[in-house]
């Protein structure tokens, strides 16, 4: 790793499945835009403080490692694409308040994610992957006007009404995936349902009468 410190124009670094435990040698590579780290051999923890100066990072993937000093990810203010480790918690994600440019967040199989209120810290999110998490409520997503791709497959969510209804994007470009998820009969279950405006609620926010919900009207 020490040899990398002299690669002044390096932009992309993939360290998956390596034995690198000390990332401090790359902390001065200011041109680095993409860093993948995880699925390491005999290594289960990364210390983010070792790379706190990589403020030009646009992509960070952390695989299955545990993270020390997680809050220092706030230093990466140019991050647009983030894949946290599967061990990530709601409390960890709640510490991230500076990532205003984040557009893609992949929380696939993050079992300790039980609610997503923290998502409002990322107002520019466009692609969100919540599949195989333990969330039950996604109503907060109604406040994200740029959300165009959403995956809630394998979660405990029962209602996706109103999700992506207020997006600024042409509905034909919306993608909604909810396989292996026990959604209510009246809830949208796929992209076409989202486009058609299927919902358990009337436009004024009141719950539709039972017969409308039963018929999916």
Whether residue 87 is found in the same domain as residue 111: no
66 and 26 part of one domain: yes
Residues 108 and 146 occupy one common structural domain: yes
Closest CA to 63 of 85, 34, 89, 46: 85
The residue out of 50, 67, 102 marking a domain boundary is 102
- The total domain count for the chain is 2
Domain final position from 68, 85, 102: 102
Q: Is the pLDDT of residue 20 over 90?
A: no
Tell me: the pLDDT tens digits for 96-110? 999 999 999 999 999
Residue 6 pLDDT level (bands cut at 50, 70, 90) = low
Report yes or no on whether pTM surpasses 0.95: no
Whether 30 contacts 54, CB under 8 Å: yes
- 201 shares a domain with 110: yes
Same domain flag for 72 and 111: no
Tell me the residue range of the domain where 204 lies: 104-217
Rounded to the nearest angstrom, the gap between the alpha carbon of residue 35 and the centroid of all alpha carbons in its chain is: 17
* Judgement on whether residues 98 and 115 belong to the same structural domain of the protein: no
- What band does 3 get if pLDDT is binned at 50, 70 and 90? low
Tens digit of each residue's pLDDT (9 = 90 or more) over 152-165 = 999 999 999 988 87
> Six-digit token pair at 132?
């195989």
| Rounded Cα distance, 159 and 144, in Å | 17
**pLDDT above 90 (res 215):** no
CA-based R_g, the chain, Å? 20
């Amino acid at each position: 790793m020490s040899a990398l410190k002299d690669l002044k124009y390096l932009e992309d670094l993939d360290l998956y499945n390596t034995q690198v435990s000390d990332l401090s040698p790359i902390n001065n590579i200011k041109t680095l835009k993409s860093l993948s780290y995880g699925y390491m051999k005999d290594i289960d923890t990364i210390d983010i403080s070792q790379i706190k100066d990589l403020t030009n990072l646009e992509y960070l993937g952390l695989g299955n490692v545990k993270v020390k000093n997680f809050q220092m990810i706030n230093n990466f203010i140019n991050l647009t694409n983030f894949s946290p480790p599967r061990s990530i918690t709601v409390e960890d994600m709640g510490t991230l308040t500076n990532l205003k440019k984040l557009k893609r967040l992949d929380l696939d199989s993050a079992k300790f994610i039980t609610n997503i209120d923290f998502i409002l810290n990322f107002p520019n999110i466009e692609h969100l992957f919540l599949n195989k998490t333990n969330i039950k409520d996604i109503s907060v997503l109604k406040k994200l006007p740029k959300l165009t791709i959403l995956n809630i497959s394998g979660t405990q969510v029962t209602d996706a009404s109103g999700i992506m209804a207020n997006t600024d994007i042409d509905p034909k470009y919306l993608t909604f995936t909810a396989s292996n998820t026990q959604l209510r009969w009246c809830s949208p279950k796929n992209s076409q349902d989202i486009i058609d405006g299927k919902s358990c609620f009337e436009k004024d926010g009141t719950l539709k009468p039972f017969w409308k919900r039963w018929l999916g009207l």
